[in-house]
C-alpha cells in the first residue's frame, strides 16, 4: 500500500527528523535559558531599587528636591459678618484672613553646583545653589479682590517664601524690601502657600503703590531644582557645570546652551501660561496649580548603568538564537553532531554576560564594564568553540568570534541610541535574516547527507 501512495505523498528521509528534533531541542534550551535571564533582570531591578533607596536616604539627610515659591506679599484683613445666637440676638464677628499679592516683574538667576555623594557603591547627585530673585509688588493689584480698605491690616503685612525642604537653607537669607534689609524667620506665619518656608514681618501704611524686593538665597537640594513663575512677566535663568540636564516643568526653556562646560537655560514665562492670577484670597486650593506651573532642571546621571543593563537583557534571546543557529549550521554542513549539553554551556555563558555587566558597572563606568564583560564572554566561547568545532571545520571558532563581536558591538550601539534604537534594531534583524537565508539557500534539508 505504501508503494501505491508514494508517488503522491513522498516520505522524507529519516535524517530530516533529526533536524526537526535538533531545532526543537534548541527551542527548548532557549526557553529554559529565559529563566536565568529573567532572574538577572530581577537582580537588576533589585539593585536599582537599592540605589533609589540610598538616594532617598541621602536626600533626607541633605535636602530633598526644591521648588521655590516667592517672595509673595501677604496682607491680612478682617472679614466681618453678623450671626444670630440662640436668644435671637444679632452679634458681629470677624475672622482674620490673608490676601496674597504676586510680583509684577519677577527675575530669578540661579547657579547650581552639583556634588556626587556616595554610600557604598551607590552614588546620589546633590547640589548647592545660589538664587537671586528680584522684582516688585503693585499694591493696586489688591483692588481686584474688592476688600474694604478699613478691613485691611496693613501693620500686620509680611512677605513669605515657600521652601519644601528647610534643611536646604544652609546660610542666612538676605531679603531687601523698599531698599532696606529685612530679617527672614522660619515658618509661614499662617500663610497657606506652602507647607514650610520663611517669612519676614512688614509694616505698611497703606499709602504705598509699589514695593520692590530683592532676595538672595543659598540652598541645598537633591537632583531637582524648580522655580514657580509667580510674576506677571517672568525671566528665570539657571546655569551649572553639569553636562546632562533634563529640563522639566510646564514649559521648556526659551533658550538653552549645553556643552562640555555645563548648561545655561532661560525661561521667559508670561502669566497667561498659568491658571491663577496676581491677587489671591485663598491659596490653599491653588498649591497644586502653582506647583504644576513650576519650571526647572533635573540633574541626570550621564549613564544609568541599571537602565542600560535592563535594556541589554531584552536582547538576550536574540543572542541565544543567532549563536545557536550558527552552531546548528556547522552541524548541518558537516557529519559531526554537537550534544545539547554543549549548547547549554554556550547559552549559560551568554546569559552570564549580563550578570557580569551589571556587577562590573556598579564599580566602574558602563562603557568599560561593557567592554570587560563582552571580551570575557567572547574569549570563553571562542576557546570552547575551538575545542568542540575543531573537528568540524578548521578555524570555525573565528566565525563564532566574529559573530559575537559584531553582536556585542551592535548591542552597544543600540544602547547608546535612545530614540533611534527601534529603527536600527529592526534594520539589524532584517539584515541577519537575509544573511541566514543566503547562507542556507543551497541546503537540501531532506537530503540523506544532511546531518544534525
Domains of the chain by residue range? 15-52+305-439, 64-299
Mean pLDDT of the 188-201 span: 85
- What is the distance in angstroms between the CA of the first residue and the CA of the last residue of the chain? 31
Indicate the pLDDT class of residue 375, thresholds 50, 70 and 90.
very high
Q: Is the pLDDT of residue 81 over 80?
A: no
DSSP state of 167: G
Q: Which has the minimum average pLDDT: 141-150, 181-190, 197-206?
A: 141-150
For 189-312, where are the E strands, in sequence order?
197-201, 210-222, 224-227, 233-240, 245-249, 255-259, 262-270, 279-280, 295-299
Going across the sheet that includes 255-259, the strands are 180-182, 174-177, 210-222, 122-138, 105-119, 233-240, 262-270, 255-259
Q: What is the three-class DSSP state of 171?
A: coil
Q: Residues near 134 by Cβ (< 8 Å), separated by ≥ 6?
A: 107, 212, 213, 214, 215
What distance in Å separates the CA atoms of residue 56 and residue 321, rounded to the nearest whole number? 40
Q: Looking at the predicted structure, is the pLDDT value of residue 334 above 80? A: no
The pLDDT tens digits for 258-273 are 888 889 999 998 888 7
| CA dist., res. 214 & res. 135, Å (int) | 7
What band does 168 get if pLDDT is binned at 50, 70 and 90?
A: confident
Residue 8 confidence class, pLDDT cut points 50, 70, 90? very low
> Can you tell me the distance from the alpha carbon of 60 to that of 119, in angstroms, rounded to the nearest whole number?
14
CA angle 304, 307, 309 (to 5 degrees): 105
Q: Which of the residue ranges 40-49, 87-96, 170-179, 338-347 would you say has the lowest mean pLDDT? A: 87-96
**DSSP classification of residue 159:** E
3-state secondary structure at position 120: coil
pTM: 0.74
Lowest mean pLDDT of 172-176, 187-191, 223-227, 237-241, name the range.
187-191
Q: Which of 83-87, 179-183, 435-439 has the lowest mean pLDDT?
A: 83-87
Q: Say if residue 425's pLDDT is above 70.
A: yes
214 has pLDDT over 90: yes
Q: 14 falls in which pLDDT band (50, 70, 90)?
A: low
Residue predicted with more confidence, 80 or 280: 280
- Whether residue 145 contacts residue 279, with contact meaning beta carbons closer than 8 Å, is answered with yes
| Model pLDDT, residue 16 | 56
CA pseudo-torsion sign 355, 358, 360, 366 = positive
pLDDT score for 13: 46
CATH fit for domain 64-299, picks 2.60.40, 2.30.30, 1.10.10, 3.30.70? 2.60.40
Cell readout for 351 is: 546569559
Do β-strands 180-182 and 174-177 pair in parallel, antiparallel, or remain unpaired? Answer: antiparallel
Q: Give the pLDDT band of residue 429 (cuts 50, 70, 90).
A: confident
- Is the predicted pLDDT of residue 350 greater than 70, yes or no? yes
- Nearest-CA neighbor of 421 among 314, 322, 300? 314
Partners of residue 396 on adjacent β-strands:
none
**Lowest-confidence segment of 42-46, 69-73, 81-85, 403-407 by average pLDDT:** 81-85
* Rounded mean pLDDT, 105-120: 89
Q: What span, in angstroms and rounded, lies between the C-alpha atoms of 415 and 56?
A: 27
Q: What per-residue confidence (pLDDT) applies to 161?
A: 92
Q: With 0-12 CB in 10 A as exposed, 13-18 as middle and 19+ as buried, what is 316? A: buried
Measure the CA–CA gap between 308 and 358, rounded to whole angstroms: 9
Cβ atoms 397, 386 nearer than 8 A: yes
Higher confidence at residue 394 or residue 37? 37
C-alpha–C-alpha distance, residues 267 and 106, integer Å: 11
Question: What is the pLDDT confidence band of residue 84, given thresholds at 50, 70 and 90?
Answer: low
Q: What is the pLDDT of residue 2?
A: 47
CA 190, 193, 194, 197 torsion: positive or negative?
negative
Is residue 148 scored above 70 in pLDDT? yes
The number of helices, as runs of H, and strands, as runs of E, in the chain is 9, 17
* Angstrom distance (rounded) from CA 163 to CA 160: 10
The pLDDT mean for the chain works out to 82
Cα-trace Rg, the chain = 34
* Lowest model confidence (mean pLDDT) among 163-167, 235-239, 284-288: 284-288
Backbone φ, ψ for residue 386 (5° rounding) = -60, -35
Q: How many CB atoms lie within 10 A of CB 203?
A: 9
- The DSSP secondary-structure symbol of 184 reads -
* For residue 95, pLDDT beyond 80: no
Which one-letter DSSP state was computed for residue 362? T
Reported as a pLDDT band with limits 50, 70 and 90, residue 302 is low
Find the mean pLDDT for residues 58-65.
Answer: 85
Amino acid at each position: 500500500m505504501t508503494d501505491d501512495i508514494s508517488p503522491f505523498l513522498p516520505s522524507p528521509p529519516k535524517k530530516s527528523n533529526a533536524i526537526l528534533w535538533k531545532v526543537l531541542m534548541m527551542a527548548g534550551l532557549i526557553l529554559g535559558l529565559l529563566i536565568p535571564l529573567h532572574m538577572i533582570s530581577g537582580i537588576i531591578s533589585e539593585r536599582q531599587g537599592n540605589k533609589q533607596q540610598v538616594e532617598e536616604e541621602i536626600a533626607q539627610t541633605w535636602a530633598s528636591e526644591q521648588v521655590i515659591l516667592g517672595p509673595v506679599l501677604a496682607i491680612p484683613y478682617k472679614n466681618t459678618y453678623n450671626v444670630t445666637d440662640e436668644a435671637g440676638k444679632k452679634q458681629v464677628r470677624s475672622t482674620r484672613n490673608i490676601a496674597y499679592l504676586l510680583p509684577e516683574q519677577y527675575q530669578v538667576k540661579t547657579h547650581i553646583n552639583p556634588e556626587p555623594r556616595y554610600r557604598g557603591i551607590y552614588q546620589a547627585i546633590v547640589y548647592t545653589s545660589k538664587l537671586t530673585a528680584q522684582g516688585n509688588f503693585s499694591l493696586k493689584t489688591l483692588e481686584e479682590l474688592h476688600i474694604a480698605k478699613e478691613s485691611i491690616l496693613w501693620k500686620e503685612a509680611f512677605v513669605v517664601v515657600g521652601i519644601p525642604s528647610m534643611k536646604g537653607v544652609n546660610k542666612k537669607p538676605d531679603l531687601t524690601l523698599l531698599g532696606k534689609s529685612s530679617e527672614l524667620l522660619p515658618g509661614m506665619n499662617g500663610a497657606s502657600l506652602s507647607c514650610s518656608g520663611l517669612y519676614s514681618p512688614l509694616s505698611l501704611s497703606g499709602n504705598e503703590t509699589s514695593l520692590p524686593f530683592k532676595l538672595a538665597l543659598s540652598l541645598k537640594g537633591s537632583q531637582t531644582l524648580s522655580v514657580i513663575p509667580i510674576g506677571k512677566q517672568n525671566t528665570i535663568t539657571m546655569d551649572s557645570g553639569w553636562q546632562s540636564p533634563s529640563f522639566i516643568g510646564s514649559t521648556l526653556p526659551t533658550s538653552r546652551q549645553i556643552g562640555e562646560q555645563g548648561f545655561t537655560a532661560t525661561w521667559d514665562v508670561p502669566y497667561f501660561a498659568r491658571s491663577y492670577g496676581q491677587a489671591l484670597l485663598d491659596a490653599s486650593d491653588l498649591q497644586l496649580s502653582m506647583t504644576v506651573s513650576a519650571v526647572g532642571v533635573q540633574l541626570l546621571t550621564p549613564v544609568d548603568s541599571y537602565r542600560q543593563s535592563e535594556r541589554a537583557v531584552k536582547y538576550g534571546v536574540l543572542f541565544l538564537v543567532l549563536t545557536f543557529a550558527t552552531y546548528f549550521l556547522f552541524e548541518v554542513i558537516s557529519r559531526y553532531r554537537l550534544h545539547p549539553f554543549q549548547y547549554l554551556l554556550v547559552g549559560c555563558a551568554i546569559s552570564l554576560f549580563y550578570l557580569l555587566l551589571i556587577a562590573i558597572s556598579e564599580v566602574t563606568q558602563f562603557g568599560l564594564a561593557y567592554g570587560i564583560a563582552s571580551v570575557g564572554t567572547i574569549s570563553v566561547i571562542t576557546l570552547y568553540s575551538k575545542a568542540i568545532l575543531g573537528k568540524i571545520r578548521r578555524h570555525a571558532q573565528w566565525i563564532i568570534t566574529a559573530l559575537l563581536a559584531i553582536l556585542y558591538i551592535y548591542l552597544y550601539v543600540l544602547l547608546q541610541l535612545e530614540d533611534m534604537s527601534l529603527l536600527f534594531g529592526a534594520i539589524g534583524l532584517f539584515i541577519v535574516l537575509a544573511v541566514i537565508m543566503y547562507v542556507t539557500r543551497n541546503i537540501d534539508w531532506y537530503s540523506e547527507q544532511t546531518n544534525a
